[in-house]
Amino acid sequence: MRKFSINRTTNETAINLILNIDGSGKSAIDTKCGFLDHMLTLFAKHGHFDLELVCDGDINVDYHHSAEDIGICLGKAFAECLGDKKGIERYGEIILPMDEVLMLCAVDISGRDCLGFDVEIPNSKVGDFDTELVEEFLLGFVRNANITLHFHQFTGKNTHHIIEAVFKAFGRAMAKAVKINTAFADEVPSSKGLL
């Protein structure tokens, strides 16, 4: 079982996170932001990751530090769960429909952090959540998971649907990339022998 827990406390956030990437999609998430809870629940469900997360952040300011620091912690947890990356598929991709939205997500567990975020979010807020924080969350994630992650939006008008498509596609693509290829379970999927 590939499982890791992390406790991270700064002057801005206190985060407790437990991740099992060989789970069934169960989650218990409390970020003090209903919309972010909803998106992370979708990520866990569609990736079949078990995720427990509590974040106490300086939400009297806004949700910026919470979103970014959760991305950092989740990225670190994935990196630890994957270890030397032997046997993983490495790549994952999906073109996911969410009502009028069509979203591509592609992942390379490459050891190199890169985010391509070709997503047009029409509104600056969903409820009290600043939609620009989606990208901040993802940047925190890729920088700490050391993965390459790309999103491309083909269609979409509704802000909630667009962000929901991002998180669902993210979960599905990550699930493919972290899956163990039993035929090559002792091999690192790179000609360099190291990721």
| Structural domains for the chain | 3-184 (3.30.230.40)
* 78 contacts 113 by C-beta, under 8 angstroms: no
What confidence score (pLDDT) does residue 99 get? 98
Buried/exposed 85-95: b ≥16 CB within 10 Å, e otherwise: bebbbbebebe
Q: What is the pLDDT of residues 123-154, one digit of tens each?
A: 999 999 999 999 999 999 999 999 999 999 99
Reply yes or no on whether the pLDDT at 7 is more than 90: yes
Q: What is the pLDDT of residues 151-184, one digit of tens each?
A: 999 999 999 999 999 999 999 999 999 999 999 9
In this structure, the strands spanning 114-118 and 148-155 are: parallel
Q: What is the pLDDT of residues 18-36, one digit of tens each?
A: 999 999 999 999 999 999 9
Reply yes or no on whether the pLDDT at 193 is more than 90: no
Mean pLDDT of all residues belonging to the chain: 97
Q: How many CA atoms lie within 13 A of 94 on its CB side?
A: 19
Q: At what angle do helices 159-178 and 34-47 cross, to 10 degrees?
A: 40
- pLDDT above 90 covers a percentage of the chain that reads 98
Nearest-angstrom CA–CA distance, 167 and 56: 22
Tokens of 102: 């069509």
* Residues 6 or more apart in contact with residue 69 via CB below 8 angstroms: 8, 10, 12, 13, 15, 55, 57, 140
In this structure, the strands spanning 114-118 and 3-9 are: unpaired
What confidence score (pLDDT) does residue 25 get? 98
Residue 53 banded pLDDT, cuts 50, 70, 90:
very high
Reply yes or no on whether the pLDDT at 6 is more than 90: yes
What confidence score (pLDDT) does residue 186 get? 93
Round the CA-based radius of gyration of the chain to a whole number and report it.
16
Residue 1 banded pLDDT, cuts 50, 70, 90:
confident
- pLDDT above 70 covers a percentage of the chain that reads 100
